Structures are given as structure tokens and as C-alpha cells.
Amino acid sequence: MGDFTLELNDDQQSVRDWIHGFAADVMRPAAAEWDEREETPWPIIQEAAKIGLYSLDFYAQQFFDPTGLGIPMTMEELFWGDAGIALSIVGTGLAAVGVLANGTEEQIGTWVPQMYGDADDVKVAAFCSSEPDAGSDVGAMRTRAVYDEAKDEWVLNGTKTWATNGGIANVHVVVAVVDPDLGTRGHASFIVPPGTPGLSQGQKFKKHGIRASHTAEVVLEDCRIPGDCLLGGKDKLDERLARARERAKAPGGERVKNAAMATFEASRPAVGAMAVGTARAAYEYALEYARSREQFGRPIIDNQGVAFQLADMRTQIDAARLLVWRASWMATAGRPFTSAEGSMSKLFASETAKKVTAQAIQILGGNGYTREYPVERMHRDSAIYTIFEGTSEIQRLVIARTLSGLPIR
């Protein structure tokens, strides 16, 4: 286990510079176009795949970085480039984390490579948890998975929503209810292989921000999948459900984490890093603008009203990064989030991104309000960080419940 440090080593700096170059040279010049088109930027994803940036091997290397900083460093640089395109590049990772967190070694080896494809034929994957009536309240989930023992198949029915890459994915990871009586403890995750009959794309959402990322409903109608597509396997599920039923008889017993919550818990610091990247991009643009823009015969950065804003912006960004790095290091070191450090990092970083991008618009004045300048897009993009993978309100609830020792329901 690597010692905690606030300085990237030579290898990490080299990787960071490499990602930054791709973000600056490939992503940024294309950002406005794909934001307007509101389409998945397949050519950019393919360019990332050609250089190894969109690949299982690259993300595995960053995931297993002994310092824990590989993933947050990667996310910050990509989202510095452009949030919409970056989410199209990294969105597959949430589905991959879902398999890594819940699957067997065989399932990981079989399905995760198929989520990415290769440089000549890139693929994407989707993690499907939220539903029209079950967003923050995962206990209200209605999508059902029923086991057909005679055919050794699971039959899935329901509608998922807000799924990144939903409907266009090669592989879908779907969280469904297997035992309604157990609430969130009766959930399980399933792989839906490519081309499975019964899975279709529902509504594609026209979004306020991150418009280069595809977000849609996923409809499951008598969707039959092989028995071995249950992540973790049926024996493990049966054992977990049996323990949950016993604990359900004894209030105050040990809680059992459901599949969706396990995935989100692992990914929250990474979302915080995304927010840091967007905030940093807006801050840097506003800083350069303030240095070059003159009013009353001098650069506007000479005015305290502007200079103090920039000072606050930088301070908040650095503080957010430190929270993200702490949580990422703790996760890699196997240290429990006894004070909900993962949720802290996402909460503070996402709120910082919204605030900093709004301040950037203010510094640019009327120019900042137009699409001729990127801070307007960055501000629209930043709104999602306080919403997806747990709203800011849910993060505060998780933190408060963790500090109080009360169960998180």
C-alpha cells in the first residue's frame, strides 16, 4: 500500500500530462460542436481508444494505482477538457465498477472487455439503476427479476431511467428486485448481453448540460437472460437473501448493502474529481480573461471585486481536490468511510463546481452569458454533479446519518 502523499510521482505526472494533452488538443476543440449536436461523440471516443485512453487496461491501471490517485487524476483532466465528451468516455466505467463490485472473476473477465470493444470497433456500457419513481429512494425500485428454474433464466421487467449510454450500450448492467419483501436488501445486479430480445431504448432526454453524453430510458419487457448473468451467482444471492431474512426478524441487526449502493459508494470520489475538473476549467478561463480584459484603463483583475472572487474560486477548488484525494486514498487503503468521507468529497466538489462556474460567468460579464465563451457551457454542465449518483441533499443525509450512527435508509 502506497503512503499518502500530496505530490504525484513521475509516472503519475507523465500520465496526467498525456491525458491533459488529449483533453486540450482533441476534446476542447470539439466541445461546442458536440454540445450543440447533443449526440454521442463516437469519433472522439474512437480517438481515445486508438491511443489507449478508452480501454479496460488503462482504467484498470489507474484503478489499481496504490496511492488511489490514478482515477481522480484521470477524471479531473478529462472533465477539464469537456464534461459532456468526458462522460461519454468514462460513462462505461460505472457499469464496469458494477461488475467489479458484485461479479465473479469469470463474469469480470467475460463482460468487462465487451463493454469497451477495441480501437476499430468501440463499444460502451450502461449502468441502469434509477427508475421514474425510484431515484434517490432506491427502496421504491419496481423492476423485477424472476428466476425461471426450468430454463435457468432470469426474466426482467421494468423501466430504467437516466441511464448514461442507455439503449446504445453493448452491455447493460441492470439492478432489479428479486425479493420485494426485503426492500433494498432484496436487490441484485444482472448483465443483459448485447442483442438480448426485450431490451429497448425508451425516451432519450434533451438535457440542460453534458449534452454530448447520451442519457435515456431503458425498457425491459420479458427480457430473458441466462442464469449465469446474475452478478455474483445464484448461490451467493441465496445466501445473502437468507441472511437478510434472518436480520429482518431482528431490528437493529447488521445492514446489508444493496448492489446499487455499493456501486455508487465506490464511485462518489470519482464524481467529485469530475466536478473539480470542470470547476478548474472555468476558473482558469476566468483568470486569463481577467488578466487580459481591460476596463477603466487597467485589467479587471486589478479590481478587488474580481480578484477576491478568483482567490475564493482557487481556494475552493484546491479544498475540493484534497477531499477527493483523501477519500480516494482511503478507499484504496481499505479504510472505512467512518465519517462518510466519500459523500463529503462529492458534496463539496459538486457544490464548488456550481459556484465557481457561476462566478466565472460573472467575471466575464455579458460575454460569459453567451455560447461564444465556454464558461456558459461549463456552468450548465456543472449542475449535474449535485444531482446524479446521489443529490447533494442525499449526500448530506448520508453524512449526517453516518456521524449519528443511525442507519442510512
Distance CA 91, CA 107 (A): 20
Catalytic residue among 288, 372, 389, 393: 389
Residue type, 296: F
Cα 62 to its chain centre, rounded Å, is 15
DSSP state at residue 23: I
Active site residue 254: no
Which residues touch 121 (CB under 8 Å, ≥6 apart)?
A: none
Distance CA 180, CA 174 (A): 16
C-beta neighbour count of 105 within 10 angstroms: 7
C-beta neighbour count of 211 within 10 angstroms: 22
Distance CA 213, CA 90 (A): 10
Taking each helix axis from N to C terminus, what angle separates 375-382 and 259-292, rounded to the nearest 10 degrees? Answer: 160
Bridge partners of residue 153, in order along the sequence:
148, 226
C-beta neighbour count of 221 within 10 angstroms: 13
DSSP state at residue 230: B
Which residues touch 60 (CB under 8 Å, ≥6 apart)?
A: none
Active-site residues, by number, are 389
